[in-house]
Amino acid sequence: MKSSLDKLERRLGYTFKNPDLAVLALTHRSYGGKNNERLEFLGDSIVNFLIAEDLYQRFPEAREGQLSRLRALMVRGRTLAELAREFELGDFLLLGSGELKSGGFRRESILADVVEALLGAIYLDSGMDTCRERVQAWFSSRLATLSVTDQHNKDPKTRLQEFLQSQQQKLPEYELLSIEGKAHAQTFKVSCLIDGQKPTEGEGSSRRIAEQQSARRALVALGVEVEE
């Protein structure tokens, strides 16, 4: 375990004073009694705070809703899982036999949780300043590409399309569900369909407005943006 821990610490850029904390952070509930759920709870709050702090300083003119959207993009499960894969954390996980057989070391939710648990462990081991250093280092390339202005000026359909393209997913399809009312006061209802996701609906005085609303709700459902 010592050589394995050394390899993990090199990837994380942090050496644990108390190695037991690192082991606990890597222990999934399927492995046994003591597991990383409490550390994950702690780390979730820490990463949300530190990313919010960075965004607050990085974008001094941004509104609360814009900052919330950017934070959601950074701390959502998919982003944390991507980070875990870059560190190859799946190689270090302690999983029960059932999770091992079902490929738990590749599961997005498990990988995201272990990143949060490791941050919780680092906090207990060395405090918030060290956590801040690690978060800034781990997220630096992603934070550097963020732009409040660009995202704010793009409509929801464009933002959704660009997000799905960045994840190498199929583009959304929009289905007209109904048109109600007289010709001069019609209400259009549209559904936004994305592979693997529950459809989201929007409505408005034109099909375009309804599509934009359904796309906006899809972004919220995906965890990319938050409701204002």
Q: Which residues are annotated as a binding site for Mg(2+)?
A: 40, 113, 116
Position 165, amino acid: Q
Q: Which is it for strands 187-193 and 173-180: parallel, antiparallel or unpaired?
A: antiparallel
> Taking each helix axis from N to C terminus, what angle separates 64-75 and 77-86, rounded to the nearest 10 degrees?
40
Rounded CA-CA distance 118/201 in Å is 38
DSSP notation for 10-65 = HHHT---SSHHHHHHHTB-TTT-SS-SHHHHHHHHHHHHHHHHHHHHHH-TT--HH
Burial environment of residue 25 by CB neighbours within 10 A (0 to 12, 13 to 18, 19 or more): buried
In 3D space, the residue among 9, 17, 7, 14 whose CA is nearest the CA of residue 132 turns out to be: 14
- DSSP letter (8 states) at residue 76: S
Residues recognised as catalytic: 44, 116
Pair 36, 116: CB distance under 8 Å: no
